[in-house]
Amino acid sequence: MQAHEIDYKIHGEEMQFVEIELDPYETVVAESGAFMMMDPDIELTTLFGDGSHKDESGGIWGKVLSAGKRLLTGESLFMTAFTHGGTGKKRVSFASPYPGKIIPVPLTEYEGKIICQKDAFLCAAKGAEIGIEFSRRLGRGFFGGEGFIMQKIEGDGYAFMHAGGNVIERRLELGEVLRVDTGCLVGFTRHVDYDIEMIRGIRNVFFGGEGLFYARLEGPGTVWIQSLPFSRLADRVLRASSHYAGKKKGEGSVLGGLGDIVMGDNW
């Protein structure tokens, strides 16, 4: 086993954080900005790349290639590594960036590889490789919601993803098909066939309000689905803020808008 063996505990409901317990000289790597808190004797190191064994064995060019892949997914060139350099057991915690669920993924149980949306990765035991997965299908690349590039996590240890709202894990049998809103797809295992389909019916296309395409997933394999994509949450917040920006203090009162006219803006 190449990845470090770590223990963990997930705290909270809507705004979760994961607490990872490290033995001496164990390391966990995380996205920049995910750190929440840590015990003494844990040292923070900034990594150029993902810090995987493949990254280190490739020398400087391996690190440049690894960092370049992360840049294509919209992530930072750097990751942070937290190493326990003392004695006993110490803990370090990482917080979710918005309301949702943290998903623990034992990579060995999924044949050492999962493919996920570009912002799903939160942290992992050192040894995991965080790379990119190119889509070879034009329809999936243009209309799949994630473009031609998705994120892949490979290794034999624990990795942690984050997604919005509630998250379900669905196991698909051979030939079983599941259709999902493109924004609700979090990730899937290597043997799942992922493509997009256009919604049928002129009325559905123009008046259905569900977009033109949905993701088509065919087993065998495992799929993770989120109930509240961040893009949907951000859109609702933006619409609400623009709606209330022009409202006066009299909204909801007996006088309403008339009160604003009679009493002025500061009543």
Q: What's the Rg (C-alpha) of the chain? A: 22
205, part of any domain: yes
267, part of any domain: no
Taking the CA atoms of residue 126, residue 223, residue 227 and residue 185 in that order, the dihedral angle to the nearest 10 degrees is 80
3-state SS, 182-222, equals: HHHEEEEECCCEEEEEECCCHHHHHHCCCCCEEEEEECCEE
Whole-model pTM? Answer: 0.76
Q: Say how many domains are in the chain.
A: 1
Q: Where are the alpha helices (DSSP H) in the chain?
A: 53-57, 59-72, 138-143, 202-207, 230-245, 257-263
34, part of any domain: yes
pLDDT of residue 261: 44
pLDDT of residue 8: 95
155, part of any domain: yes
Taking the CA atoms of residue 97, residue 101, residue 105 and residue 109 in that order, the dihedral angle to the nearest 10 degrees is -160
- Give dist(CA 122, CA 98) in Å, integer: 12
pLDDT of residue 49: 64
- Give dist(CA 74, CA 130) in Å, integer: 13
Give mean pLDDT in consecutive 10-residue pieces for the chain, a chain of 267 residues: 82 93 93 91 83 56 55 67 93 93 94 90 89 64 55 91 94 95 91 82 52 84 92 75 58 45 46
2, part of any domain: no
Residues whose CB is less than 8 angstroms from the CB of residue 191 and which lie 6 or more positions away in sequence, other chains included: 111, 219, 220, 221
263, part of any domain: no
103, part of any domain: yes
256, part of any domain: no
Domain that holds residue 166: 7-245
Q: Euclidean distance between the first and final Cα of the chain, in Å?
A: 69
Domain containing residue 77: CATH number: 3.60.160.10
Q: Provide the 8-state DSSP code for 108.
A: G
